[in-house]
Amino acid sequence: MTIIRTPAVAGLFYPADAKQLTQDVQQLLTEAVQYELTPKALIVPHAGYVYSGAIAATAYATLRLAASVIKRVILLGPTHRVAVRGLALPGVDIFDTPLGQVKLDTDAMQCISHLPQITINAEAHAMEHSLEVQLPFLQSVLTEFTLLPLAVGMASAEEVAAVLEYLWGGDETLIVISSDLSHYLPYATAQQIDNTTVQSILHLQQPIAHDHACGGTPISGLIIAAKEHQLIPRLLDLRNSGDTAGSRDQVVGYAAIAFS
């Protein structure tokens, strides 16, 4: 029996209507600054599209050149609702979105299932938005791909890096880390802190603190792997909700960073 994870935040973080969603994502991708890059890994934000969609689109627009080559996406994001030890697989076969179904890479999931930091936790994935909001972008940019989604809870950067090493692959494998930056700070304070966080990432310095990036653990794991594989990070976009769609009293920071 095929087990499907249904969308949890369609109609909240992004449109539930397929036609509207397609239109919105395509517009964001069209308006994004174009960089001549072929990334191995991306860091992208995961707020509602009205807040962080434009920043995410800047990252996803870099995949156009390699779209036909990428066949597998390793997607890591922090857990927001359910406490998890380690990195949790969803225990399903398919992730559904308004744009259609995304098949999970069951072979690769089997390949890492023996690792002590890997668990299966459907509950951790059921309502988690950090992974889900990335899917319509991936579906809009890539031609055909499988997905390996991991909800990252209480884990070390080294545990994350070990999982990434197992799944690293070649040009057919893309790694996406879903993370926002600072949360609910005044505009100028957020700019200062987010800039410091981004400089740490660009200089491959970890750990990244959780109050500076909710996906600090998967980002730190990527930094370890990036050093090992001699990847060079490049900042594509850095803004916050005060720049996009919110007040400047309390903002959330967003960055798009490509590793190639």
Containing 109, the helix (H) or strand (E) segment is helix 106-112
Q: Which residue carries 């989604």 as its tokens?
A: 149
**Which string of b and e fits 141-164 if b means at least 16 CB within 10 Å?**
bbeebebbbbbbbebebebbbbbb
In a domain, 161, yes or no: yes
In a domain, 13, yes or no: no
- pTM comes to 0.98
Residue type, 221: G
Closest CA to 223 of 157, 130, 159: 157
In a domain, 233, yes or no: yes
Name the DSSP class of 173. Answer: E
CATH number at residue 200: 3.40.830.10
State which residues form the domain around 57.
39-259
Q: What is the pLDDT along the chain (260 residues), one digit of tens a residue?
A: 999 999 999 999 999 999 999 999 999 999 999 999 999 999 999 999 999 999 999 999 999 999 999 999 999 999 999 999 999 999 999 999 999 999 999 999 999 999 999 999 999 999 999 999 999 999 999 999 999 999 999 999 999 999 999 999 999 999 999 999 999 999 999 999 999 999 999 999 999 999 999 999 999 999 999 999 999 999 999 999 999 998 999 999 999 999 99
In a domain, 67, yes or no: yes
In a domain, 59, yes or no: yes
In a domain, 27, yes or no: no
Cβ atoms of 195 and 238 closer than 8 Å: yes
* Structure tokens belonging to residue 228: 């090992």
User: What is the tally of structural domains in the chain?
Assistant: 1
In a domain, 106, yes or no: yes
In a domain, 229, yes or no: yes
